[in-house]
Structure formats: structure tokens, C-alpha cells
Structure 1
């Protein structure tokens, strides 16, 4: 990242915070998963696998049993889209499908060892990205920003992700 940071007067910071947040979301939503997929697996097609593994891991804290519907809810997809994603991640060896203990018509999903490895690699990449993006910041600023990010995630009920 370049050193094009603008100094925003204190009274404008709150006004600019919302638009800045959404610029960051748009920027990273288009880039992080692609870059992560290529760096972790060497192939772009594994983007869906990373999303599926992240969704299953995130859902573990919310529910005792993870299903395709759980993955769909976590990713904001319809059931058929989540089903294809789960099918492909299962075929690639990142997830296993078992029979639900609650409803035998549903599949219960779990991470495999390969899925846990992919998840760990994704989390390492995410931590490294944070470190890289804030490398030139004073330590106190990095710590405060990390605290604010985790606080926001917690407030939104996302604090269990990325343990």
C-alpha cells in the first residue's frame, strides 16, 4: 500500500468513517479471497473451498450440528448454492458429510484434517495481512485498531470466528 494517507481533521473523522469502512469492505471483498486462494493452494478455483471451510468453522460455535442450511446462512447464499459449495469442498477432501443425528434427511458437516489445515493457513494469511497493512503504524495504534476490530466483530456476533 502506498503512503497516500490523507490527514483528516478530527471533526471529519466520524463523518468519513462510514464511507471509509465501506471502501475497505469493497476493496477486500474483491481481493482477499482471490489472493488467499492462490497463495494457499496455488489455484483460483479453491476460493469456494476456503469459504466453505470458514463457514463450517464459524458455525461450530453457533450450533452443535452443521448442515448445508447452516453454511448457506453463514455465507448469505441460497440452499442450492451452498449445497454445490459443500459438495465441491467435500469432493476436494476438506469436509465430510455424515447423517444428521437430529434429522436423518440432512447431512451433518465436519472439517477434515485437510480442511483444518486449509483453515489454519487462511487464518495465518489473514493475520499476516493485518500485520502487513499496519506495519508502519505505531504499536499503540495497531493495538487500538485490533481492539476496535475485535470489538466490532463481537458486537455483531462474529467474535467466535478466527480463533
Structure 2
């Protein structure tokens, strides 16, 4: 899994110098709500937590592009026999994007890609535990151009089961809003 995370990070960093000379390069930050569901054997719990995402992308022809980013999903918890199991998932992702203009300032977009997820569990065994999993990422949203350079973003992303270890599962989806700056 470490190799996959390194490859994803190098890919994202490798896109930056190439995209820096293009006018359809963008970077952004989103804040939102992560809906996380933790299942452990017969127990289940859902948490709404604060999520943070930073990302960069490049649109090749104004329609199709690529995006890479880092997401902190927040913290989910599950009460287990007198203690509370806490999970802190985070993800690196790379996705292909497609954008369709609706008006001169408003556009809809979709994304499909791979998410490299890692969740750290506390109060799980003596020292805690970390789990990693690669999942498909599906997302959709709207952008509104406030100026030619700055846009507002509203987005939904589904990360699926970021942890799937037999009796222990963690699903995450995020609704967020943010700011995107085009270079």
C-alpha cells in the first residue's frame, strides 16, 4: 500500500510543473461534512464529521481533465464494550474529470478515479491499528465563476468502503463547498 501512496503522490506532484504553464490549471480547498458509517461485527454507528480537501487539477480541452488531491475525512467512532473505537480516515486520490458548461458562469462536473485510503484506529488493541485500501472514487458537483480566476465549488464525493477488513468496515461520503483558483 505504501507503494501505491507513493505512486499517487508522485503522479500528483508530477502534474504540477506541466500544468503550471497551462491556463486551465486549478487548485482549491473545500470544507464539508463527511458521513461515515462504521460497522464492527454486530455493532454499527454513523457519524457526521468535518472534512477538509486540498486538490489540484488540469483541464486538457476545457472539458476533460485530471485531478489529484488529499482528503481528511474527520473522525468516526463506535462504542465497543466499555471503550470507544475511533477511526481517522484520510485519502489521496487521482481522478479523470469531465466538465459541462450550463451557463457562462455555471458548470457541472463529474469525476471518476482511484482513492488510496488509510484509516488509523485508536483504542483497537494495545497500540491501535492502521488499515489501507484502494477504492473507486465517484464525484459530481457544480462550479460558479465569481471572476475569471476564482470559482465557488459545491461537490459530492463517494469513497465507498475506505476500510474493509472482514468484521470491520468504514464507508465515507462527503458533501463540501470551497474555492477554486485557476492559473
TM-score range, shorter-chain basis? under 0.3
Name whichever structure is richer in helix by fraction: 1
TM value normalised by structure 1: 0.25
More strand by share: 2
